[in-house]
Amino acid sequence: AQTVTQSQPEMSVQEAETVTLSCTYDTSENNYYLFWYKQPPSRQMILVIRQEAYKQQNATENRFSVNFQKAAKSFSLKISDSQLGDTAMYFCAFTSRNTGNQFYFGTGTSLTVIP
């Protein structure tokens, strides 16, 4: 069974600083996708970044980057130059072809950016 673990229920960061959110997962699959989704107070889930497991290069999207450690089954999200609009719940998620198209989500990390 696939599991996704986010061990940081809450985090805070000063505006313009950098913060890293942790995520670990457990799977026996070799090919899979990992995601970070953002859920602001408006509640709509928004894709932040995606990583294909077969790619060694860490994904980057502007101020967002990941540190993907496949052997350690770790997938952390780094937010640089934090902005007030980054305040949200962040969910790590996993899917693979062999999971029957299910996405497995972690329990989330609530990030607060402090002005």
Which residues, in sequence order, are bridge partners of residue 74? 24, 69
# residues contacting other proteins (CB under 8 A): 28
- Alpha-carbon distance of 77 to 71, in angstroms, equals 17
Q: Based on the shown chain and the rule CB under 8 A, indicate whether residue 91 belongs to the binding site for other proteins.
A: yes
- Neighbouring residues of 15: CB distance < 8 A, sequence distance ≥ 6: 82, 83, 84, 113, 114, 115
Instruction: For other proteins, give the closer residue by CB, 63 or 97.
Output: 97
Instruction: For other proteins, give the closer residue by CB, 32 or 75.
Output: 32
Task: Write down the least CB distance from residue 16 to other proteins, Å.
Answer: 29
Query: Do 27 and 73 touch, CB atoms closer than 8 A?
Result: yes
Site residues for other proteins per CB under 8 A? 4, 6, 31-33, 35, 37, 42-47, 50, 52, 91, 95-97, 100-108
